[in-house]
Amino acid sequence: MMNFLDELLEDKLLKVISLVGLFAAYLLDAFDNRFYYYSAAGITFFLLVSAAVRVYKQRELFQTEVLDIPIVVAFEPNVTPKYMLETLFKDLEAKSTIINLKEKLKKYRNIVEEELVFEYKGDLYDKERLLSFFQIIHFSITKMKENNPNKIHFHLLSYKRPSYGFWLGYIFENEELSVYQQVPDKDTINKIAHLKDRIYKNSIQKYEKFDIQLLKMDENSDTVLLAIKASSHKITFASESLVHYTNIVSMVAKHDGTIQDDEDWVLYAREIFTQLMKLQEHYKKIVIVHNMPESLAIIVGKATGNFWPVLIRQYDVPSGEYKEIMQLNDLRCYF
């Protein structure tokens, strides 16, 4: 890393001062007025101090081993992602030694608000449009990493469409990631997991968070429907989109209602991941329907990656059916 003086000499503002000074010298000689000399000296000193302050603040971010960057992803038109980004910034600034993080990211890292908010607009079942949307997110976080010398700790909030969390988890598969959950019916958020190591990929020997139920079994079928119930909503197996599945395994969370913030969300994800690995050994195709929070889907997606041909279905309110979105591995050839 360059020392302070080297960085000061490389600063754009100081280069402008030098360029202006080159021409100002000739002008001052032409006027031959002491007042102009003193004024020029004062302005130059002020600009030099401004450049030094600028470099000092830049170094403050450079010397931070890990740089916190918030990301908000919205799949619902009737939400306020920029407001939620502000909420996320306030939460980070309250716990960080760097004050005014938002302004400093913009000024010293050229990371603006528009690069931190991703709003999906369009058909929620348009596969090509969804793939393009996920590509944009992946490109943006890759660019942030390439343009910053710091290690980056992403803080991710996604809401209103839990099913898409599986692919978001894959996009951040190799990143240090904290996952946030919006409190239902409130404009507040809670951090529910910090995924720094690979513990979320570790299988478990005994289920603590879920009861496993075999609802249907057909030895002549190589397809299984995995139903994951982790919130208060019911899964309607009698719906037209699910009734034809002849192998159904259900994972029912042992808690009542919604997962509490102080619970071990990673353990929930590990149990789901473990069950998926077991099903992979016996079936060629796995289909998932679920009612789980967005953040839990993100952790599961970070564990599964994009190598599994697992089809995700999402409950569609207007039709009352579980519509196909796409498979987890459909992103494989895009990144």
Q: How far apart are CA 50 and CA 54, in angstroms?
A: 6
Query: What integer is the mean pLDDT of 74-87?
Result: 87
Q: What percent of the chain has pLDDT over 90?
A: 57
**pLDDT score for 1:** 40
Number of domains in the chain: 3
Which DSSP helix (H) or strand (E) runs through 72? strand 66-74
The mean pLDDT value of the chain amounts to 85
- Considering the domain architecture, whether residues 207 and 330 belong to the same structural domain is answered as yes
Q: Does the pLDDT at position 5 exceed 60?
A: no
pTM over 0.75: yes
Query: What integer is the mean pLDDT of 141-149?
Result: 89
Phi, psi of 117 (to 5 degrees): -120, 130
Query: What integer is the mean pLDDT of 151-175?
Result: 94
- Considering the domain architecture, whether residues 90 and 154 belong to the same structural domain is answered as yes
Q: Counting beta carbons within 10 angstroms of the beta carbon of residue 289, is it exposed (0 to 12), middle (13 to 18) or buried (19 or more)?
A: buried
- Considering the domain architecture, whether residues 188 and 237 belong to the same structural domain is answered as no
Query: What integer is the mean pLDDT of 53-72?
Result: 75
More confidently predicted of 28 and 275? 275
**pLDDT score for 42:** 61
Q: What is the CATH number of the domain that holds 134?
A: 3.40.50
- Based on its alpha-carbon atoms, the radius of gyration of the chain, rounded to whole angstroms, reads 26
- Considering the domain architecture, whether residues 211 and 318 belong to the same structural domain is answered as yes
- Considering the domain architecture, whether residues 323 and 258 belong to the same structural domain is answered as yes
Tokens 């720094």 map to which residue? 196
More confidently predicted of 136 and 107? 136
- Considering the domain architecture, whether residues 318 and 275 belong to the same structural domain is answered as yes
For residue range 170-224, what is the model confidence (pLDDT) as tens digits? 999 999 999 999 886 667 899 999 998 888 999 999 999 999 999 999 999 999 9
> What is the band of 334 on the pLDDT scale with cuts at 50, 70, 90?
low
- Considering the domain architecture, whether residues 78 and 97 belong to the same structural domain is answered as yes
Domain boundary among 161, 195, 229: 195
Query: What integer is the mean pLDDT of 132-142?
Result: 95
**Considering only CA atoms, which of 333, 313, 72, 32 is closest in space to residue 179?**
72
**pLDDT score for 307:** 74
Domain boundary among 168, 195, 222: 195
Q: At what angle do helices 34-62 and 12-31 cross, to 10 degrees?
A: 180
Query: What integer is the mean pLDDT of 56-84?
Result: 81
> What is the band of 149 on the pLDDT scale with cuts at 50, 70, 90?
confident
- Considering the domain architecture, whether residues 72 and 154 belong to the same structural domain is answered as yes
**Considering only CA atoms, which of 43, 102, 124 is closest in space to residue 324?**
124
Could you tell me the sign of the dihedral formed by the alpha carbons of 96, 175, 266, 166, in that order? Answer: positive
As beta bridge partners, residue 24 has none
Q: Counting beta carbons within 10 angstroms of the beta carbon of residue 46, is it exposed (0 to 12), middle (13 to 18) or buried (19 or more)?
A: exposed
> What is the band of 314 on the pLDDT scale with cuts at 50, 70, 90?
very high
Asked if residue 169 lies in contact with residue 301, where contact means CB atoms within 8 angstroms, the answer is yes
H helices of the chain, in order, are 4-10, 12-31, 34-62, 81-95, 101-109, 127-146, 165-171, 265-280, 294-304
Query: What integer is the mean pLDDT of 36-41?
Result: 56
For residue range 259-311, what is the model confidence (pLDDT) as tens digits? 988 899 999 999 999 999 999 999 999 999 999 999 999 999 999 987 788 99
Q: Does the pLDDT at position 105 exceed 70?
A: yes
> What is the band of 47 on the pLDDT scale with cuts at 50, 70, 90?
low
- Considering the domain architecture, whether residues 216 and 329 belong to the same structural domain is answered as yes
- Considering the domain architecture, whether residues 269 and 178 belong to the same structural domain is answered as no
**pLDDT score for 257:** 81
Q: Does the pLDDT at position 74 exceed 80?
A: yes
Q: What percent of the chain has pLDDT over 70?
A: 79
Q: Does the pLDDT at position 23 exceed 70?
A: no
- Considering the domain architecture, whether residues 164 and 100 belong to the same structural domain is answered as yes
For residue range 218-256, what is the model confidence (pLDDT) as tens digits? 999 999 999 999 988 889 999 999 999 999 999 999 988
**pLDDT score for 2:** 44
- Considering the domain architecture, whether residues 299 and 247 belong to the same structural domain is answered as yes
Query: What integer is the mean pLDDT of 147-167?
Result: 92
Domain boundary among 41, 62, 83: 62
Could you list the residue range(s) of the whole structural domain that residue 58 is in?
A: 4-62
